[in-house]
């Protein structure tokens, strides 16, 4: 069952004063002021003496017919507001307590932000952190620039250890294919092992270069590549291919000599055992061809692996690896900063939580009262503006009526403003903007 939360109760005197203040109405039209304006304007239009204007350009008739009625309405509102202020005054400590907690929470948050900035500055002042961060940011920007140039794709970075294992597998396959050949040919295990290792190494290295250069042919041999670099890449490709051909030549030669020797031995054994010539049919070319096809297939598999795991742009991969290395150096340092900041934030959250728990009791009583104050302040500002606009509108109506009446009945009417006389036309050209605060000398 949900816990019952009692509805906060506003003290009756406060609520009564608030309702009275909110019920105060402002005239919706100027009709109630019109008769007084017309009577007073007609009387002033018949004046034989210059009408005196105050510093705001108002005659005594304007003050009595336009300003005073609005001032009465305004004063009535402020009387009601005074009653509300008196009623709510004993409750102000509750509102202040709530506002103090809100201020403390804001101060805690600001203090936390400043402390976080100090933590970051402390680490940034350390050369190892600053250098690591600078290098990480620089490399990351360079990598992102290359990634945009590569159509937003990620660089291919196959794990080197896995690639080494695959190439080792290629070498192992070469061992299994050729060791027996070299052993039967040399009849010396160590020599056979050495020859097999050399061939396996040559095939693996050639497969690596052939696959990688085929995948990145544009990078290695493109028109934009400097002639010296392109020539060097061509030389590397030629050397690797030559070594591969020599290796295959050695394998093929050893296989051929071994097969021919084997065929000769079998022929001799067969002839001696049967007392005559016995035909021993060993197709040397076929055996050698099959052996070479298997070696070529092993090389092809190695080249295919190299092609698959390498990127079209080796520099792109190198930049990614450089970024990973920079990140590996910077992240542990950054984690120290983040850990301190996290601990600081956790402490702040606990302190704010305690403040909010403390504020809950005040909020039940203080929040509704604070809302009333905010509503009254909003209406007060609106009444101030409405009073100024209404008074200005009535004054303009009065001036228009006075000017029209005087133009017909007393065109020689003059006005005295600060000792300076002005005629009716100059008076009608003046613009008036009335403000009670300026008129009454109230603080804005």
pTM: 0.50
- Alpha-carbon distance 138 to 381, whole Å? 55
The pair phi, psi for residue 83, each rounded to 5°, is -65, -40
Q: pLDDT at position 360, please? A: 60
Distances (CA, A) of 114 to 105, 124, 337, 345, 356: 14, 15, 14, 12, 22
Burial of 220 by CB count in 10 Å (0-12 exposed, 13-18 middle, 19+ buried)? buried
User: What are the sequence ranges of the domains in the chain?
Assistant: 12-18+32-155+317-444, 158-310
Q: What local confidence, expressed as pLDDT, does residue 304 receive?
A: 92
Give dist(CA 28, CA 20) in Å, integer. 19
The string of DSSP codes covering 344-373 is HHHHHHHHHHHHHHHHHHHHHHHHHHHHHH
Sequence-distant (6+) residues with CB within 8 A of 4 are none
Give me the helices (H) in 275-313, please.
284-309
346, 354, 343, 340: which is closest to 104 by C-alpha? 354
| Averaged pLDDT in 10-residue chunks for the chain of 444 residues | 50 86 79 88 90 88 91 91 87 72 76 78 77 86 86 85 90 86 81 87 90 84 80 88 87 79 67 50 74 88 90 84 87 81 78 68 68 88 89 90 89 88 87 78 44
Strand, helix or coil at 157? Answer: coil
Residue 267: its pLDDT value, please? 65
Angle 52-57-63 from CA coordinates, rounded to 5°: 75
């Amino acid at each position: 069952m949900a816990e019952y939360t009692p509805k906060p109760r506003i003290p009756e005197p406060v609520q009564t004063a608030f309702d009275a203040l909110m019920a105060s109405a402002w005239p919706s039209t100027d009709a109630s002021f019109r008769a007084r304006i017309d009577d007073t304007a007609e009387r002033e239009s018949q004046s034989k003496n210059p009408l005196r204007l105050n510093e705001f350009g108002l005659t005594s008739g304007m003050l009595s017919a336009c300003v005073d009625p609005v001032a009465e309405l305004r004063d009535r509102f402020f009387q009601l507001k005074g009653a509300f202020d008196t009623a709510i005054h004993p409750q102000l400590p509750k509102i202040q307590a709530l506002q103090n907690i809100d201020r403390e929470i804001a101060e805690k948050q600001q203090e936390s932000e400043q402390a976080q900035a100090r933590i970051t500055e402390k680490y940034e002042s350390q050369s190892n952190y600053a250098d690591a961060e600078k290098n990480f940011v620089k490399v990351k920007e360079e990598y992102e620039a290359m990634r945009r140039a590569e159509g937003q794709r990620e660089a291919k970075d196959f794990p080197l250890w896995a690639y080494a294992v695959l190439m080792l597998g290629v070498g192992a396959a070469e061992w299994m294919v050729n060791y027996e050949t070299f052993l039967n040919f040399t009849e010396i295990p160590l020599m056979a092992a050495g020859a097999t290792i050399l061939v396996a190494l040559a095939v693996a290295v050639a497969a690596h270069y052939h696959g990688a250069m085929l995948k990145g042919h544009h990078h290695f041999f493109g028109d934009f590549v400097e002639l010296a670099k392109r020539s060097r890449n061509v030389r590397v490709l030629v050397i690797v291919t030559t070594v591969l051909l020599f290796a295959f030549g050695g394998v093929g030669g050893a296989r051929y000599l071994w097969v021919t020797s084997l065929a000769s031995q079998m022929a001799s054994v067969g002839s001696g055992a049967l007392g005559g010539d016995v035909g021993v049919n060993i197709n040397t070319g076929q055996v050698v061809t099959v052996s070479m096809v298997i070696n070529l297939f092993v090389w092809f598999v190695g080249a295919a692996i190299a092609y698959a795991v390498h990127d079209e742009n080796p520099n792109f991969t190198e930049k990614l690896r450089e970024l990973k290395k920079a990140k590996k150096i910077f992240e542990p340092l950054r984690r120290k900063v983040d850990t301190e900041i996290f601990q600081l934030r956790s402490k702040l959250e606990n302190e704010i939580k305690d403040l909010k728990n403390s504020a809950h009791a005040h909020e039940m009583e203080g929040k509704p009262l604070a809302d009333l104050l905010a509503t009254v302040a909003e209406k007060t500002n609106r009444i101030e503006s409405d009073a100024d606009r209404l008074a200005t509108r009535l004054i303009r109506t009065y001036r228009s009526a006075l000017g029209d009446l005087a133009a017909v009945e007393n065109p020689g009417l003059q006005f005295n403003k600060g000792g300076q006389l002005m005629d009716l036309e100059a008076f009608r050209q003046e613009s008036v903007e009335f403000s009670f605060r300026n008129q009454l000398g109230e603080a804005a």
